[in-house]
Structure 1
Amino acid sequence: MSDSDNNQIRIGLLSCINIVRKLSRAINLSPNATISAIATTSSIEEAKSFTASNNFPINTKIYGSYESLLQDPDVDAVYLPIPASLHVEWAVRAARQGKHILLDKPVALNVSEFDQIVEACEFYGVQFMDGTQWMHNPRTAKIIDFVKDFEIRTVNSCFSFAASESFLKNDIRVKPGLDGLGALGDAGWYTIQAVLVANNFKLPKTVTALPGSVLNDAGIVLSCGALFDWEEGITATIYCSFLANLTMEITAIGKKGTVNVRDFVIPYRETDAAFITSTRGCLSEHKVMTELPQETCMVIEFARLVGEIKNRGAKPDGFWLSFSRKVQLLVDAVKESIDNNLEPVLLSGR
């Protein structure tokens, strides 16, 4: 085994669901990470077939329970693509075992639940990262650089896709006992991240759901919009939906410039991503090149942070816990406003 192999962060995967295919490819492309183990609650034979068809390392351990994987000393970190209703239990268990955590969104069903994860991560000194990949695309860093100078006044972000009838009946995102936050916790997570990014990660003062929310018979949000207000007169709107045509846009308008991104969640191409700026009447397209897909960039950064802790005794980077908590807080506020006839929700002191 080479020194580079010894320095790779060993990641365990909790589940064989479809999204793990994408993440496993990202890990395989990452120079500082490797798949060490996978756990399944279904059959071991199914897991063996899954690992073979997705090019897992031949020495990948296969466990028949999540707990068995968490007890493996050869696993440094875990990826949890499990329903949000299970996040508190398994993220806390992972932290107790000293495993660093890459967690799918929504990170919890509400901020009170997420605070239990925060407490466990801080107490056991493990790195946490929310698994939304667009934040790690090199384009996003460029966009942040631009909006800092534009003195942003208003932001609009939209992520929608027209889900199939089967999705709307059967997906975990429309089931109250599983993910439970519907389009708001899924597509809405990205839009809320976007407005926070454009406003230097500062929380708004108030959140108000907009008219026109659509809920299914179980009370799960299928489509909604919201207005965010900051004290400085800055505003933002979001729209998220499982019922509208595919749209993944950010428009941030400032005193000194405008940024528009048309594919912010998943770039049209893996190797380059574009955005448009308008300054002093001049329209410019910016193309950011990358050798690796954004999900691989995420894994590389996660593994780097874990490696700093494991190999150099560094402290976990608290940005990701803080950022995810802010997003969860705003998800909760939108839902609260929907449930209370569009009454504004004041965020002061939360």
Structure 2
Amino acid sequence: MATVTDTPIRIGVMGCAVIARTVSRAIDLAPNATIAAVASRSLEKAKTFATANGYQQSVKIHGSYESILEDPDVDALYIPLPASLHVEWAIRAAESGKHILLEKPVAMNVSEFDKIVAACEKNGVQIMDGTMWAHHPRTAKLKEFLFDSDRFGQLKNINSCFSLAVDEDFLKNNIRVKPNLDGLGALGDLGWYAIRAALFANNFELPKIVAASPGTVLNESGVILSCGASLSWEDGRTASIYCSFLANVGMEITAVGTNGTLCVQDFVIPFEETRATFTTCLKSGFNDPWVSRPTEHSVKTEIPQEACMVREFARLVGEIKNKGAKPDGFWPNISRKTQLVVDAIKESVDKNCQQISLSGR
């Protein structure tokens, strides 16, 4: 459980994307963080965003990204810019001594992310990606079950998907379908979560082989709108992921072990802010598979998962700022592994579903 620092961590919002509205509220709800500033490339846009999101009068308004980097009253930056801009602005943020909460995908490829991490390490700043579900208390309960050798046993397979049906305007104009902005498309935006779930269930051990599934849908600019992939590990564990802008809502995880089965219906965005559920089924038999009926488990949280994320990020920053602690390397490590799998799936798509080895990467 994160502890509250005496002085809230001062976070600047660097960019006025739609997701920044959600994270702005999360910063307000986190007990150890406060919004100190907001920046856009237009002063007017920054002012409008601040007003629309109920920012306090004390919040500084910056009309450029350069300006917020120089603000001495900002400890950390939340960066929801398009992925193609991350490598430039995250590095500049690190060089300015700002801790970084970076939206996903963290970069256009792992080479770019390695440069970001190197800058963070050189300047002693924390970096964490914006995968909110990782911080929900339900996720800790999922981990308990998945790594319980008696109840779950050895993982054999995990399926994870994240799909959202978008409209025609989105398909024509959204940054997620533009190769020069968020050019990884549905893979980077939605597939990131499904990949993270597969890695999470495998204790973040990278798969040996990754292969895109046939049927990837690209737009006329070559951006992925829908795709699937298979992942396999040395000992026979497998995973399948699916992501799409062209299918109805799906946010499921199904993990099957030698002794148990885990199902989550809403792993990315829980149905309710303060309560989330999952089901488990234990030790069924061949002749009577439902001898053990699925059991529903409920996990409560006082604040939504995005505020849990901000709270943990602010706790880590506070430890560095107030106690001289070192940045926690766990978060950039799992970001890098997620990006590696994103890159491998993209490479496989580009090579007509060829198997891609992750050995040594």
Residues in 2 aligned to 1:280 and 1:125: alpha-carbon distance in whole angstroms: 48
Is the CA contact (8 Å cut-off) linking 2:46 and 2:63 kept in structure 1? no
Q: Which residue of 2 aligns with 1:313?
A: 324
- Mapped to 1, the partners of 2:131 and 2:69 lie a distance apart of 23
1:177 counterpart SS class: coil
* Secondary structure in structure 1 of the residue aligned to 2:263: strand
Tell whether 2:338 aligns with 1:339: no
Matched AA of 2:312 = E
Q: Which residue in the other structure is 2:72 paired with?
A: 73
Gaps of 5+ in 1: none
2:226 to 213, 223, 242: 223
Q: Distance in 2 between matches of 1:99 and 1:248?
A: 33
Structure 2 counterpart of 1:234: 237
Measured against aligned partners, the alpha-carbon deviations of 1:158-207 in whole angstroms (never above 9, x if no partner) come to 10111111101111111000010000001100000000011111000000
Taking the TM superposition and a 5 Å limit, the aligned residue runs for 1:159-198 are 159-198=162-201
For 1:297, the equivalent position in structure 2 comes to 308
Offset at 1:6? Answer: 5.6
Letter in 2 for 1:284: T
Task: Show structure 2 runs of 5+ residues with no match.
Answer: 285-291
**Matched residue SS, 1:186:** helix
Given candidates 262, 267, 278, the residue that maps to 1:264 is 267
Structure 2: how far apart are the matches of 1:119 and 1:175?
A: 28
Show the counterpart of 1:7: 7
Distance apart, 1:46 and its partner CA: 3.4
Aligned residue number for residue 99 of structure 2: 100
Distance 1:5 1:260, change over 3 A: closer
C-alpha distance in structure 1 between counterparts of 2:5 and 2:261, whole Å: 45
CA distance in 2, matches of 1:212, 1:17: 31
User: Structure 1 residue 205 and structure 2 residue 204: aligned?
Assistant: no
Structure 2 counterpart of 1:130, one-letter code? D
User: Does the CA-based 8 Å contact 2:5-2:318 persist in structure 1?
Assistant: no
Aligned-pair CA distance for 1:118: 1.0
**Offset of 1:241 from its aligned partner?**
0.4
Does 1:117 pair with 2:145? Answer: no
CA-to-aligned-CA distance 1:112-169 (integer Å, 9 cap, x gap): 1111001111111110000110111110111011101221100000101111111011
| Aligned-residue RMSD, C-alpha | 1.1
TM-score (norm 1): 0.97
Alpha-carbon distance between aligned partners in 2 of 1:257 and 1:309, rounded to the nearest angstrom: 40
**Which residue of structure 2 aligns with residue 254 of structure 1?**
257
Aligned equivalents of 1:230 and 1:184: distance in 2?
Answer: 21
Q: Measure the CA separation in 2 of the matches of 1:322 and 1:309.
A: 18
- 1:241-270 CA-to-partner distances (Å, cap 9, x unmatched) read 000110000000000111000000000000
- Structure 1 segments, 4+ long, off by >2 Å, are 44-50
Deviates more, 1:309-318 or 1:5-14: 5-14
Candidates 152, 157, 173, aligned match of 1:154: 157
* Cα shift readout 1:278-304 (whole Å, capped 9, x = no counterpart): 112332100000111110000000000
2:58 corresponds to 1:64: no
Count of residues paired in the alignment: 346
Match status 1:48 vs 2:59: no
Mapped to 1, the partners of 2:254 and 2:134 lie a distance apart of 16
Q: Does 2:142 align with 1:143?
A: yes
Partner-residue secondary structure (3-state), 1:342: coil
Specify whether residues 57 and 340 from structure 1 end up closer, same or farther in structure 2 by C-alpha distance, changes over 3 A only.
same
Instruction: For residue 234 of structure 2, give the secondary structure of its aligned residue in structure 1.
Output: coil
Name the counterpart of 1:287.
298
Local SS of the residue matching 2:134: helix
SS, match of residue 278 in structure 1: strand
Q: In structure 1, give the amino acid aligned to 2:117.
A: V
Query: How far apart in 2 are the matches of 1:45 and 1:214?
Result: 38
Shift in Å, 1:17:
2.4
Once the two structures are overlaid, the 10-residue window that deviates more, 13-22 or 81-90, is 13-22
Structure 2: which amino acid aligns with 1:292?
Answer: I
Give, as a single letter, the amino acid of the residue that structure 1 aligns with 2:334: F
Partner residue in 2 for 1:324? 335
- Alpha-carbon offset, residue 5 of structure 1: 8.5
Aligned-pair CA distance for 1:30: 1.0
Query: What is the CA–CA distance in structure 2 between the aligned matches of 1:116 and 1:289, rounded to whole Å?
Result: 38
Partner of 1:18: 18
